[in-house]
Structure 1
Amino acid sequence: MQGDQSRYDAIVVGSGIGGLVSGGYLAADGRRVLVLEQHDVAGGNAHVFRRRRKYEFDVGTHYLGDCGPDGLIPAILSGLGVRDRVRFRPMDNAGGFDRIMTPTATVDVPAGWEPYRHRLKQAVPEEADRIDRFIDLAVAVATASRAGLLGEPMVELFRKSPQTMRWSRRTLGQALDHCGLSAKGRTLVAAQAGNYGAMPDGIGFAEHVNIMDHYLRGAYYPEGGGQALVAALVEALEAYGGELRTRCAVRRILIDGGRATGVELADGQRISAPLVISNADYRRTVLDLCGGAAAFPADLVARTRDAVMRSAVVAVYVALDTELPGLPNANIWWHDSDDMEGAHAAVQERYERDGTMESVPQLAFSFASIKDAGSPAVCPPGHSNFQIMTGCPPGYAFWGLEGGPVDGEPYRRNPAYLARKRQLTETILDTAEKVLGPFRDRITHVETATPLTNERYIRASGGTPYGMATWGGAGQRPDVRTGIEGLYVVGQNVRYGSGVGGVATGGVAAASQILGRPLLAEVYAGTVLGDASRLPERAPDWDPLAVSRGQARQRAKGLARIG
C-alpha cells in the first residue's frame, strides 16, 4: 500500500455545499484543507449537467430562500468573501413563488407569513380560524428556531416559551391534527412536501416551518444555476490555500485510538490529517467508510443500519424548442386530489398489492428558463428548460433490481429497469400535459433520472436527496460532531436539515465547532473571514463547471460545453 507523507490540517470527504462551506471556512482561518470528490465535478446535489451543447440542467437547485439583504445564505457567502460573486434572481415573491394546484383550489404562495396566511384563508375560508391557529403556531416555532440558530441558548428559549419549544419536537401531522384542519386544508398547507420528501406524519413540525420560513423570506434562483454557487465556494477554498481533487474516491476514513487520523483513497494512498469532515452519506460514513462497529458504539451502528430514508425521487428533464406561455415565475406543486395524504397512501397500497404505479398523485415543476431567463447556458432564446419531479416507492425491487450502483449492480442496461423507467417517464409526461397543456411535439431533449442515478453520482442511501427520515426515532438526526475525536459530519442527514440552506448552515456549524466560535452569528452580524483580494479574476469565458473540477483538472478532457 502506497504511503503519502503529505499532511493536511483537515480533509473533507465529498464536495456538496456542506463540505465546501465547512472546508472554505477552515481554509479562510488559515488551515490547510483538502476536499476529495469521487465525481467529475464538485457540488453534490447542486451540480449541473449539459446536453446537446444547448441545455444545462440543475440537478437539485430549484430555488433558494432567504437571499435578501439580511439573508442567511448571503451572510454565509459574505463570511467567505464571495457574496458579490453570486447573484440571486428573485422569483415572483409578491404574486407567488410557488403555485399549489389541487382539483378545487389554486394558491399562489407569496413572501411573508401574513400574505401567506391571507392566501390560505382565501382558499379555504370555512377554515379561517384553523388556518390562524396553524400560522400562529408556525410563526412562533420559526421565530424561536431562528433565534437559536443565531446563538440564543436553547435553555433561554425554553424559559421564554416552553409551549412553543415543545411543538418543535412534534410532527407536522400532529400540528395539523391539533389545529383541526380538513384533508383539503392539510393538503394546501403541506403541498410543498417535495422540499423535504415526507408526508406530514414523517416530518418534524419545526423542520416544515423552518423550510417554509426560509422561502417566505423571499424565494430566489442563483444566476447561472446551482453550479455558479458551487464555483464561488470552490474559488474561496482554493484562494485561501485549500485544494479540491475531483475524480478522487475515498475508500476509508482512518481511525486510530478513537480519533480520526486521515483517509485512504481508492488507489490505496493514505493522506493524514487530525480532522476529517465527512460530507458523504451518513449511513455510508458510519457503516462503510468508518467500519461500523469497529469505530462506533453498537447502538449507534444499529440505529444507523435501521435508519429509514426519506422519499426517493424521479426527475424528468425536458427541453422544448418553444416557450411555455402564461406561466408565472414560480414552481408548480400539482396534486390530483384535495387529500394529498390519502392519494399518497392509495398509490403505496396499490404498489404493495400488485407492484404497479400506473398513476402519479403529485408532480412538482421547476422552470429554469423562466427563473434564469436569458441565461445562455440554460437554453437558446425561444426554448424552454424545465424539470418534472415525483416520488416513487423505496428500494431496488421497484426497479427490478437486487442491488444498486454502489454494490456494483450493472443496472443501466437491465431490461426490467429500462422498462420501468420508460413506463414511469411516459406516465409523468402524460400527467404533466394535463397541467401545462400539450408540449410533447416540441420536445428537443428528454431524459429521466431515477434514485439509481442519484445513488450513482452522489452515493446517497436509497437514492434520496433528502437524507434520513428516522434515525432511532421520528425527526432524530445526528449533530455535526460525532463521538470520534476529530471526525465531523455534514450534509443532508444532519440535524440542520436538507436543501441548500440547511446543508450550508450545517457546514458553518461544523466549522464553528472546530474553531470554537459562533460563526453563523458572527457572519450574520458582518464578520468576514475570507480576504476577497485573494480571489481569482474571472475571464470572459469563465465557466463554473470547469472551476468546479478543481484547479488541477480545469482543462482536463471530457468537459461538456454550451455553444
Structure 2
Amino acid sequence: MTTEVASGRKARPDRYDAIIVGSGIGGLVCGGYLAADGRRVLVLEQHDVAGGNAHVFRRRRRYEFDVGTHYLGDCGEDGIIPAILSGLGVGDRVRFRPMDNERGFDRVITPTVTLDVPSGWDNYRDRLKRALPGEAAGIDRFVDLAKTTTALSRASLLGEPVMDLYRASPEVTRWSRRSLGAVFDHCGFSARARTVLAAQFGNYGALPADVSFSVHANLMDHYLRGAYYPEGGGQVLVAALVEALEGYGGELRTRTSVARILVEDDTAVGVELSDGERITAPLVISNADYRRTVLDLCGGEAVFPSHLVRQTREATMRFPLTAVYVALDTELPATPNANIWWHADDDLEQAHARMIEEGMREIPQLIFSFASVKDAGAPNVCPPGHSNFQLMTVCPPGHAFWGVDKGPADGGPYRRNAAYVARKQQVTEAMLATAEEVVGPFRDHITHLETATPLTNERYIRASGGTPYGLANWGGVGKRPDVRTGVEGLYVVGQSTRYGSGVGGAATGGMVCASHVLGRRLLAEVHRGAVVGDPSLLPDRGPGWDPLRVSRGRARREAKGLARIG
C-alpha cells in the first residue's frame, strides 16, 4: 500500500528490511552482514562513491589519494579486520601489505627524541626505555596496564567470559575508565615522555586530557599487532564490502541524500529523501554523523529524551584535520615504510594549547603518510619514479578560524571566500615549509598539490566540526553512544560510537550493530572461521576491475564522470 507525501509523489512500498543512511565502513559492514543473513538492505549515500572517510580521489589520470585509510592494524592471521572480511566471503579479495613492523611502522620525532615503533608491546616497551632512560619505572607501569586492558577488551569483543578477569583486575577496571592524562600522571611521566607516548594522538584526534586511556591503549594495540596497508588502496576494501552487499541481494544508491529519518510512535519506519521520496523499512541504521542524526535527521526532542538531546547539542568534537596531498616527479630519498609523527615541541600538550590560543601561528605537529612507499609499484598510486604522500595536522576547531560563519553542510559558501582562501594558503605554506625541514626539499618536483580543510571534510562527509574522528566529550571524557539508540528499530554506527576510531573501530561497531539485529555474536563467530552467506553469489572480477567504479553502486556503475588512472 502506498501513501501520499507532501511533494505529491508516491511512497515506495515497504520492500526493504533495513535502510542504512551513509556508506562508511561501519554502515557497509553492518549492511553486508544483514544482507548475507537474507535481509533486504538498502544503503543510501549522498556522495558519488561509497566509503565515507575511506574513499579515494584521483587527479591528472596519474595519482590516487586515500582520504582516510593511511594504515590498518591487526591484519595478520588472527586479525579482526581479515576475520570480518572473511566472514562475508571476501577475505581473499583484499590483500594487506605489511609495513616495516620490525624496524618500525611509526617514526616519532621530537626535538630531543627519535623513536621507531615496532610491532609488539614488549618490543615497544624496550624502545621506549632506550629513548627515555629515566622513565623506565613509569613505562613498565604504563605498558603492563595497557597490555591487561587491551587483552580484556579483545576477549570481551570475541565473546569470551571476562567478568572473572575484570574482578581479578580492579586496578585495570578503574584506570581504563580514566583519561589518558590521568594515567600519565599515575605513571609519573615527564612532559617529554607524555609527548612520546601520545605522539600518535592524530589517530584519534584528542589530547591526553580528552581521551580515555582505554581508547588510546586499544588503538595502540591494534597497530602493535602489526601495521598494514591494503594493496591497491583503501577503495579496494570499500569495493569488497560493496560486492558483498550487492552479491547478497542488497542495494547501494549513491548521490542519494537523506533529509529525514522517519519515526512514528517511538519506532523508526523509514527515511525521506531530499527530493521528497519516502522509503519505508522497519529498521534504520544511521552511519551519518551522530550529532546530525540526533539533531537534524531525527528532529531532536521530537524523537529523543530532552536530556539526550541536550547532551548531544553540548557535546564537543575531536580535533579537525587539514590534509595536504602531494605528488612529485621523483622519489623521496631514504623514505621509511612508516608514518612519520613529527612534533615541534617536547611538550605536546603545551604546544597544542598555544596552537588554539594563537590561531595556529606555527605547526605544532605534522603527520606524514607515504602511499607510494606503503603500496610500492601500485599503478593507481603514481607512475614509476614518482612519489605520492600526504601531510596532515590538527587545527583549531570552529568555522571562525577559516573565516566563515557556517559550514557547507548548513549551506554556507566558502570556497571562494577571500578569508578562507587566505587562511588555506597560509596553512598549506606552513605545512610544506615544515615538511621540508623534516624530509628535505621537494617543492621543485611537485606535479600535484591539493589541500583539504575541515570544511572540505564537512562538505563531503557532513561531519560536525569537520572532524573525521567523531565525538570527543558526550557527557564525560571518552563517553560515547552505543549502537542502540533507545528508539525501536533505530541504530547508529560510525566514528562517534563507543567502538571507533578508524577503519578497525568503525568495522567493529558495524559488526556489533548487526549482532544486535540478528541476535548473534557475529564477531566471535567469524573470528572462529564462520562464513555468513554464500560466497558463490559474489560477482566475478573481470579485466579492468576498478574499485572506484564498483563503489558507485550497480545503478550508477556506468554513469559519466568516473575519474580513471592512465
Q: State the TM-score, normalizing by the size of structure 1.
A: 0.98
- Residue deviations 1:454-483, cap 9 Å, x none? 000010000000000000111110000111
For residue 479 of structure 1, the aligned residue among 468, 478, 482 is: 482
Letter in 2 for 1:76: I
In 2, the alpha carbon distance for the partners of 1:80 and 1:156 equals: 32
For residue 42 of structure 2, the aligned residue among 17, 34, 42 is: 34
In 2, the alpha carbon distance for the partners of 1:547 and 1:11 equals: 20
In 1, the alpha carbon distance for the partners of 2:445 and 2:342 equals: 22
For residue 19 of structure 1, the aligned residue among 27, 31, 42 is: 27
In 2, the alpha carbon distance for the partners of 1:346 and 1:110 equals: 31
**Aligned position for 2:400:** 397
- Residue deviations 1:133-185, cap 9 Å, x none? 11111111111111111123564343231221111100110111000011111
For residue 80 of structure 1, the aligned residue among 77, 88, 106 is: 88
| 2:465 corresponds to 1:462 | yes
| 2:66 corresponds to 1:58 | yes
In 2, the alpha carbon distance for the partners of 1:153 and 1:460 equals: 36
In 2, the alpha carbon distance for the partners of 1:388 and 1:97 equals: 17
What are the equivalent positions in structure 2 for 1:206-355 lying under 5 Å apart?
206-351=214-359
- Residue deviations 1:31-59, cap 9 Å, x none? 00000000000000000000000000000
| 2:424 corresponds to 1:416 | no
Secondary structure at the aligned position of 2:362 is classed as coil
Secondary structure at the aligned position of 2:219 is classed as helix
**Aligned position for 1:506:** 509
| 2:68 corresponds to 1:46 | no
In 2, the alpha carbon distance for the partners of 1:6 and 1:216 equals: 46
In 2, the alpha carbon distance for the partners of 1:534 and 1:5 equals: 26
- Residue deviations 1:178-221, cap 9 Å, x none? 00011111111110000000111111000000000000000000
**Aligned position for 2:118:** 110
In 2, the alpha carbon distance for the partners of 1:154 and 1:123 equals: 35
- Residue deviations 1:359-390, cap 9 Å, x none? 10100000000000000000000000000000
Letter in 2 for 1:267: D
For residue 382 of structure 1, the aligned residue among 374, 381, 385 is: 385
- Residue deviations 1:9-31, cap 9 Å, x none? 00000000000000000000000
Secondary structure at the aligned position of 1:413 is classed as coil
For residue 375 of structure 2, the aligned residue among 368, 372, 375 is: 372
Letter in 2 for 1:256: E
Letter in 2 for 1:560: A
Secondary structure at the aligned position of 1:412 is classed as coil
**Aligned position for 2:433:** 430
For residue 151 of structure 2, the aligned residue among 137, 143, 156 is: 143
Checking the alignment, whether the CA contact within 8 Å between 2:18 and 2:285 is kept in structure 1 is: yes
Q: Unpaired segments of 5 or more residues in structure 2?
A: 1-6
In 2, the alpha carbon distance for the partners of 1:11 and 1:262 equals: 7
| 2:125 corresponds to 1:122 | no
In 1, the alpha carbon distance for the partners of 2:152 and 2:419 equals: 49
In 1, the alpha carbon distance for the partners of 2:540 and 2:355 equals: 52
**Aligned position for 2:442:** 439
In 2, the alpha carbon distance for the partners of 1:526 and 1:214 equals: 20
Letter in 2 for 1:415: A
Checking the alignment, whether the CA contact within 8 Å between 2:155 and 2:162 is kept in structure 1 is: no
Deviation at 1:4, TM superposition (A): 1.5
What are the equivalent positions in structure 2 for 1:482-493 lying under 5 Å apart?
482-493=485-496
For residue 175 of structure 2, the aligned residue among 133, 148, 167 is: 167
In 1, the alpha carbon distance for the partners of 2:161 and 2:300 equals: 33
For residue 4 of structure 1, the aligned residue among 1, 12, 24 is: 12
**Aligned position for 1:354:** none
In 2, the alpha carbon distance for the partners of 1:153 and 1:14 equals: 34
In 1, the alpha carbon distance for the partners of 2:148 and 2:498 equals: 20
In 2, the alpha carbon distance for the partners of 1:535 and 1:273 equals: 25
Letter in 2 for 1:49: F
Checking the alignment, whether the CA contact within 8 Å between 1:53 and 1:561 is kept in structure 2 is: yes
**Aligned position for 2:108:** 100
- Residue deviations 1:106-150, cap 9 Å, x none? 100000001000000000111111111111111111111111111
Deviation at 1:6, TM superposition (A): 4.4
In 2, the alpha carbon distance for the partners of 1:47 and 1:156 equals: 42
Checking the alignment, whether the CA contact within 8 Å between 1:157 and 1:165 is kept in structure 2 is: no
Greater CA deviation, 238-247 or 146-155? 146-155
In 2, the alpha carbon distance for the partners of 1:330 and 1:427 equals: 23
Secondary structure at the aligned position of 1:538 is classed as coil
| 2:550 corresponds to 1:530 | no
Letter in 2 for 1:201: A
Checking the alignment, whether the CA contact within 8 Å between 1:236 and 1:530 is kept in structure 2 is: no
- Residue deviations 1:517-542, cap 9 Å, x none? 10011111111103211111111100
In 2, the alpha carbon distance for the partners of 1:168 and 1:127 equals: 21
Letter in 2 for 1:513: H
Secondary structure at the aligned position of 2:526 is classed as helix
Letter in 1 for 2:306: A
| 2:563 corresponds to 1:560 | yes
Percent of residue pairs bearing the same amino acid type: 73
Q: Unpaired segments of 5 or more residues in structure 1?
A: 352-356
In 2, the alpha carbon distance for the partners of 1:228 and 1:221 equals: 11
Secondary structure at the aligned position of 1:143 is classed as helix
In 1, the alpha carbon distance for the partners of 2:266 and 2:146 equals: 41
**Aligned position for 2:3:** none
- Residue deviations 1:239-262, cap 9 Å, x none? 000000000000100101000001
Checking the alignment, whether the CA contact within 8 Å between 2:482 and 2:497 is kept in structure 1 is: yes
Checking the alignment, whether the CA contact within 8 Å between 1:148 and 1:157 is kept in structure 2 is: no
In 2, the alpha carbon distance for the partners of 1:83 and 1:449 equals: 32
**Aligned position for 1:540:** 543
CA distance 1:319–1:87, shift in 2 (3 Å): same
In 2, the alpha carbon distance for the partners of 1:93 and 1:337 equals: 26
Checking the alignment, whether the CA contact within 8 Å between 1:86 and 1:228 is kept in structure 2 is: yes
For residue 551 of structure 1, the aligned residue among 554, 560, 563 is: 554
Checking the alignment, whether the CA contact within 8 Å between 2:152 and 2:166 is kept in structure 1 is: no
Checking the alignment, whether the CA contact within 8 Å between 2:113 and 2:131 is kept in structure 1 is: yes
In 2, the alpha carbon distance for the partners of 1:157 and 1:293 equals: 40
In 1, the alpha carbon distance for the partners of 2:119 and 2:533 equals: 31
Checking the alignment, whether the CA contact within 8 Å between 1:480 and 1:494 is kept in structure 2 is: yes
Task: State the 4+ residue runs in structure 1 displaced beyond 4 angstroms.
Answer: none
